[in-house]
Chains A and B, each alone.
Chain A
Amino acid sequence: DTAVSQTPKYLVTQMGNDKSIKCEQNLGHDTMYWYKQDSKKFLKIMFSYNNKELIINETVPNRFSPKSPDKAHLNLHINSLELGDSAVYFCASSQGAGYNQPQHFGDGTRLSIL
């Protein structure tokens, strides 16, 4: 059983389109995260939810909107996609928000904007 699963694994789309990435975790964790990893492997936190409440909301264009329907799911919707959005997006989860708690990552969604 995959602990943190993201869909789709690959997403190729045109500039200006709207797309969503889904994430589900079956670890029973209460905190979930979205990260963006650029081509140089630099990892940037975007959002975090704890018990469905937004607790981290970094400086990210408002074209990006997270939604957490329940503790096990955190989806990411992106409007009006731009070339600079091309990256790998990782979902992660942990029990508790930070402090001593390791995060478990999905395999990533590779987003390519044409």
Chain B
Amino acid sequence: GDSVTQMEGPVTLSEEAFLTINCTYTATGYPSLFWYVQYPGEGLQLLLKATKADDKGSNKGFEATYRKETTSFHLEKGSVQVSDSAVYFCALSGGSNYQLIWGAGTKLIIKP
């Protein structure tokens, strides 16, 4: 079945460091890919999405490119801030099932 694998956390970085959170997927068909962010004590919010191969989603300085050849959708940001500390979830939809398939989440901790 469809699945999403994210790098395990927590990921701890200093402010202004470069961020990469890896996400790879297994799916039939042509899924859409999403990154959601969950700040402490809140629900999940859509951060960015990409609906077809080679699309780049971007928002708030974060980017991710839909790579069909490597089945990946890695999240990147050039310079992180303390306020980026949160849990990040990679997800896909539209594979063999219309559900959103979720990764396990990666906790990001940014130190000043």
Residues of A within 8 A of B (CB): 4, 40-43, 45, 48, 56, 90, 92, 97-108
Q: Is the interface of B mostly helix, strand, loop or mixed?
A: strand
Q: Which of A4, A48, A56, A98 contacts B43 (CB 8 A)?
A: A4
User: Which A residues lie within 8 Å of B99 (CB)?
Assistant: 45, 48, 56, 98
Among A40, A42, A45, A107, the residue within 8 A (CB) of B100 is A45
The 8 closest A-B pairs by CB, nearest first: A98-B98, A105-B43, A99-B94, A102-B46, A41-B105, A105-B44, A98-B93, A100-B32
**B34 A98 Cβ-Cβ under 8 A:** no
> Is the beta-carbon distance between A106 and B94 smaller than 8 angstroms?
no
Q: How many residues in B have their beta carbons less than 8 Å from beta carbons of A?
A: 23
Instruction: Flag whether B66 is at the interface (Cβ < 8 A).
Output: no
Residue ID in chain B nearest A94 by CB atoms: B100
Instruction: Give the distance in Å from the alpha carbon of A102 to the alpha carbon of B32 in the complex.
Output: 10
Q: Measured between alpha carbons, how far is A45 from B38 in the docked complex, in Å?
A: 16
